[in-house]
Structure formats: C-alpha cells, structure tokens
C-alpha cells in the first residue's frame, strides 16, 4: 500500500499577493497531496467586503483558509462561511508583522495576547468541524524566550483547543523592520521548534522559515510533524513535482512541467472567458522551468506578452516552444 501521509506533512505557505486562487490551481498540477493555503484574508474583508474573498476552485483541495482577525465572533462567522464553501482547514495568522496588520490588532502582535487568541480559536472550533490551526513565530520583540513561546502554545492549546501549530522559526520585530526584512533578518532557530515538539508531543507541530529544498524538509521531518515552504516553492515551483514521491511516498510519476502547463489550458480558457487577464494567471508560472535551458526565454515571453490585449493560450504555447524541446527526457 502506498504510504500517503497527512497533508500537513508538507504545505505551501500563505503568501500575500502570491498564493491567490490562480496560483493554487497551478501548484495543484504539480503536487496532489501537499496542503495549500490562501493568502491571508481579514475577517472584515469577508464580512463587509464587496468582493468574494472566499472564491476558490474545488480542484485545489486540500486548501486551508488563512484568516486575519482578533474578534472571536467575527472569526467564528468567517470560519462558518469557509466551511460552507468547502475549505479543508481554518488557519489563524499570528505571525504577520506588518504595521497595517498591527493597526488592525491581528498578526504577530497577537502573540502577546494568548488569551485573545485562545478565545478566537475556541469560538471557531465551537462553530465548525474543520481543523482550526495557528501560524505564529517563535517570539516578538524582546519577548523572545523559549518560555514565552511555550506559554503561548500552552494557553492556546489548552484554553482554545488548538491542536496544530505552524511555527515560523524566526521572531518578529513589530517595529523597525519591514515585513520583507522580518522574513530575512531575525535569525532562524530551528532547534527551538524541535524542542517545542519534544515538549508538546501531543500537538502537531510544523516548521516554516528558510526551507529551500526537499532534502532540508526531510531533515526537519525527523524532528517535527510537517514542513511549510514559502518563497522557494513559489519562485521555483518545479521542485513541487517531486514532493508527492519524496515526502508522501506516492508511486505516481512526477508531474512533467510541459504537461503541467498544458493541463492549465482549460482553466486558463475558462478564466479568459470570464474576463480574467492572462497575466494574472501566468505570473505564477514564470519560475516553473528554473534551471532548464530556455527558462529565461519562457519568463521573458510571458512577462512581455501575457498582459497585452488579446493574450491567450497561443501566447503560452509560444512561450512553451522556447523551452519544451530543451527539457531532458526521463530515461
């Protein structure tokens, strides 16, 4: 029997302006078993916004909705809407350090209010049957001790009932650093996350931050339950074609990148018919052929032409012709 593990064993991180529904549909062509995340969506946008912030395609499953918010009632209402729409998990953002997020009293600043986080988690768990998880950091500002992290996890798990934590292995500076700098400057401390799993063996602990290869993911999986990959998965999505085999034990052949592009055609045509611009979809596909001769030409052709009026499947085919015959054939 093929050993397929739970989806949280490997996931692609929620990334603002990146992991939209077009991106997730594309990534699903590369890996069938990985857990995908939406961009962070605020409770206010879902409840009061004019757009459909929960739009997604069922073929993206399994997908987790990441919420930003602090009010228990609003979180519960959004979780209920997400469950009705078929999402597979609700994740609360307790890790984003941007000023805009702090002003809304959500994101990483909530690490300093574990009782509030626990209330929100409990309210969602009381309302839905979906897993409700937390993505957080190892600390904030001067509150960077291991005891601080343990106190947060203990309170949110015991009072809120949260059973799964995704830990970005960096602390967050709530002022003085931009969100981009907060992803790079605070040093990574993987050992602290490993220790957390040892001290809370009954909880599901996933690690996030700086993971650049599946080999690194395998090392982490010797210590924790899951690995979340962010920027590398987006910028070099081709590596996701190996995830199902390498990390989930699937015996299905790795996805072929040319076949992946062509598998997108029905989706692209359906979206173009709705008025979506080709570039809104293909911008997520630019890194697919990284490391393969012709990859630069592929990127350039799409970057220069996908936003032009009338850009369509033919535009993608033209880009594909610049790289398809240069891909080594499997022996």
Catalytic residue list: 96
Contact criterion met (CB below 8 Å) for 316 and 261: yes
Kindly report the CA angle at 37 between 33 and 38, in degrees rounded to 5?
Answer: 140
141: left (phi over 0), alpha (psi -120 to 50) or beta: left
Q: Which residues contact 185 (CB under 8 A, 6 or more apart)?
A: 173, 177
Contact criterion met (CB below 8 Å) for 11 and 37: yes
Contact criterion met (CB below 8 Å) for 67 and 40: yes
Integer CA distances (angstroms), 89 to 33, 38, 42, 134, in order: 14, 11, 16, 11
Backbone angles phi, psi at 236, to 5 degrees: -135, 65
Q: What's the rounded Cα separation, in Å, for the pair 203 and 8?
A: 13
CB atoms within 10 A of CB 167: 26
Q: What's the rounded Cα separation, in Å, for the pair 203 and 224?
A: 10
């Amino acid at each position: 029997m093929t050993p397929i593990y739970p989806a949280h064993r490997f996931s692609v991180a929620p990334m603002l302006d990146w992991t939209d529904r077009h991106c997730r549909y594309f990534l699903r062509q590369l890996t069938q078993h990985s857990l995908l995340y939406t961009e962070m969506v605020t409770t206010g946008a879902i409840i009061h916004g004019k757009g459909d912030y929960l739009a997604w395609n069922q073929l993206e499953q399994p997908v987790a909705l990441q919420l930003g918010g602090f009010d228990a009632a609003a979180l519960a209402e959004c979780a209920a809407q997400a469950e009705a729409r078929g999402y597979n998990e609700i994740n609360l953002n307790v890790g984003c350090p941007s000023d805009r997020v702090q002003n809304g009293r959500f994101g990483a600043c909530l690490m300093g209010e574990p009782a509030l986080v626990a209330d929100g988690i409990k309210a969602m768990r009381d309302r839905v049957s979906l897993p409700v998880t937390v993505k957080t950091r190892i600390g904030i500002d001067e509150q960077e001790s291991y005891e601080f992290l343990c106190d947060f996890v203990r309170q949110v798990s015991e009072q809120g009932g949260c059973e799964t934590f995704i830990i970005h292995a960096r602390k967050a500076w709530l002022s003085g650093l931009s969100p981009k700098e907060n992803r790079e400057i605070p040093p990574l401390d993987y050992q602290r996350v490993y220790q957390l799993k040892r001290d809370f063996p009954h909880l599901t602990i996933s690690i996030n931050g700086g993971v650049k290869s599946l080999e690194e993911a395998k090392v982490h999986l010797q210590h924790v339950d899951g690995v979340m990959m962010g920027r590398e998965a987006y910028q070099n999505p081709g590596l996701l074609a190996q995830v199902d085999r390498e990390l989930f034990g699937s015996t299905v052949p790795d996805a072929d990148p040319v076949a992946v592009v062509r598998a997108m055609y029905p989706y692209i045509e359906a979206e173009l018919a709705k008025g979506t611009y080709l570039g809104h979809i293909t911008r997520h596909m630019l890194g697919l052929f990284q490391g393969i001769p012709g990859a630069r030409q592929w990127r350039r052709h799409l970057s220069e032409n996908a936003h032009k009026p009338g850009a369509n499947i033919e535009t993608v085919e033209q880009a594909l012709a610049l790289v398809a015959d240069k891909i080594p054939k499997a022996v």
